[in-house]
Chain A
């Protein structure tokens, strides 16, 4: 066991992926000497060289577009988008080209590309540095969208994403980058929990709290407060936003009869709506209350002095729990 931060675990996971497959390349802005603005790739260029850790020109569409060409050549590119809010210039290449290559070519070509990006708010930064664009990608057929919430998942899931033959959008909760945890870095990749499965973090009988990425820590905090009041929340970390692990969700909600989805992204058209609809379809007769959402508001991301009001916190989650329990 080794104590790692999330960012440190991603760094180690990338290193291991590069060690085990010479076709793995890293591409992005400032990822070489600097090691990325969050240091996810620190030391990797020194050890793997400039042909495997590639500092790119400052052009997101260009990064993803050339990653496509490299993948067609037989490489396994891992692209870093510096911030969530900078991904939009690459949107066309991601949703029109990356997502559809396998389908378009009837399985003859595929693009094993991982697109990493720090996402979510809470770091007190300026506009474009606190966004949660996951719903755009989760609603795009052909992409896998995953997000980690602790160092162990960060370490294993980044390796699973790189090894995946489907393109993966890998979302990293930037305000949790320095959260620490124990990681067994000696284990086999094959023994890690698959990235497309949800994880039950806390078992409970009263209400299911469904969260992912940066809101996992918030949900856990809410669950421990609720437990003191005798309300037992079951906390599920989704991990995969597309596809959703509906089996784990359905089993939990059939047991608790209540569900609340928590995310930082806006409510409308978000993951919460999708999860709620799936639960209504599968668990209709088990539900004791409507599925509720605790999310960012339907506004653009606010100036940082207001972000604590915007982001779901334990109090807002507990209010929703109360609403659900007293329905």
Chain B
């Protein structure tokens, strides 16, 4: 099967709306312009963070370049009461959940383990362990069920949970166990797999002989393949899967077929394992460009608005550069905080040791 077979697409690469008998998006043009702005700014924040890593300000960064439509489309489908669990590449989701891009950098700079307050944004922090959080999402969704927050018919009350992960994660036991638990309990969780074609250096075909979405069948949930570079389609399929979850009809697996245009992380060198031809193929499928063309044709986007957004992007990048350098290194003694609920004699003794070293250094 071709990698683009069976894809739900509502906006093609040339920026033309595609008719689909099953899926019709009712998004208005102002909302689409908002998505365009989201994608431009998220691309900017990603490129700025990559640059900051190159300048030695961040220890690492995992670029989301090329995956903006999958992230903004799905992220904007979430309601305030929903909860999301994401990986280290989901900067677009963090953006949709209201996380300030400057704050996102703290984790990558090495000043904290979690950049933001998970419950405030209803988004758990960057998960590094591949697939582990799909179980947390499923458990959280089971919690919503037990709390009576599923299937009540109250659109502002019923909750759903989204787990974001990639094609590589589809091989992890935890992902498969999450599918089993979610279907066994019909938990209100949406599994959103961004198939970006590469798990570091391994192509998706190393993970699976069938399209990833087909796996859903064996678990007993719907599996949907969507054009991951089509923000309208990503929004539509996610919104429907979330509605389905909130109304108590159980989980859905969405495979968003997209492309990791950048490296796995700033420590990776994709020229060692992938072809330029692929890069070109996917550049023609750029998620932002097709929406730009569409909105321009519709006279929703004009030069004035485009330059406003571009200015906003420049100032966001500036704010990130400033903010990143201003994060203080953590106090060494904070290393001993929050291991246990109360104090622990071992840890307090070690804290005192470091305190003594600091005092000695201060005295010298």
Contacts and interface: CB of A to CB of B under 8 A. Distances in A.
B53 to A, nearest CB: 22
A185 interface: no
Contact of B173 (A89, A100, A164): A89
Contacts of B177: 57, 59, 61-62, 65
Nearest to B173: A61
Interface in A47-66: 51, 56-57, 59, 61-62, 64-66
Interface stretch (A101-109, A254-262, A316-324): A101-109
B135 A69 contact: yes
B250 to A, nearest CB: 15
Nearest to A102: B338
B72 to A, nearest CB: 25
Given A70-B140, A75-B146, A59 B341 contact: no
A73 B144 contact: yes
Contacts, number: 130
B21 interface: no
B183 to A, nearest CB: 9
Contacts of B124: 72
B341 A74 contact: no
Given A25-B146, A73-B144, A142 B340 contact: yes
A110 interface: yes
Nearest to A245: B345
A106 B337 contact: yes
A97 B133 CA distance: 9
A103 B338 contact: yes
B174 interface: yes
A12 interface: no
A37 interface: no
A144 interface: yes
Contact of A141 (B119, B139, B339, B345): B339
Interface in B131-172: 132, 134-147, 161
A236 B229 CA distance: 65
Contacts of B337: 103, 106-107
A110 B341 contact: yes
Interface string A107-149: 1111000000000000000000000000000000110100000
Interface core residue of A67, A70, A96, A164 (most chain B CB under 10 Å)? A70
A103 to B, nearest CB: 5
Given A62-B181, A106-B337, A108-B118, A70 B142 contact: yes
Contacts of B139: 65-73
Given A103-B113, A109-B118, A144-B340, A66 B142 contact: yes
A93 B129 CA distance: 10
Given A66-B142, A103-B113, A108-B119, A92 B135 contact: no
Interface string B324-356: 000000000000011111001111000000000
Contacts of A25: 146
Nearest to A246: B345
A243 interface: yes
A166 interface: yes
A141 B338 CA distance: 11
A69 B185 CA distance: 14
Given A59-B180, A65-B132, A109-B118, A102 B143 contact: no
A278 to B, nearest CB: 9
A65 B344 contact: no
Interface core residue of A62, A64, A100 (most chain B CB under 10 Å)? A62
A93 B132 contact: yes
Contact of B140 (A56, A72, A103, A108): A72
Contacts of A108: 114, 117-119
Given A68-B139, A70-B140, A109 B119 contact: yes
A165 interface: yes
Interface core residue of A61, A71, A96, A109 (most chain B CB under 10 Å)? A61
B112 interface: yes
Nearest to A105: B114
Contacts of B144: 73
Contacts of A73: 139-140, 142-144, 147
Interface string B289-315: 000000000000000000000000000
A96 B135 contact: no
B181 A106 contact: no
A74 to B, nearest CB: 7
A103 B141 contact: no
A106 B129 contact: no
The 7 A-B pairs of least Cβ separation, nearest first, read A69-B139, A65-B135, A73-B143, A66-B139, A62-B177, A69-B140, A165-B341
Interface of B: 112-114, 117-119, 124-125, 129, 132, 134-147, 161, 173-174, 177-178, 180-181, 184, 337-341, 344-347
Given A69-B140, A70-B146, A73-B147, 4 more contacts: A57-B180, A61-B135, A66-B139, A73-B139
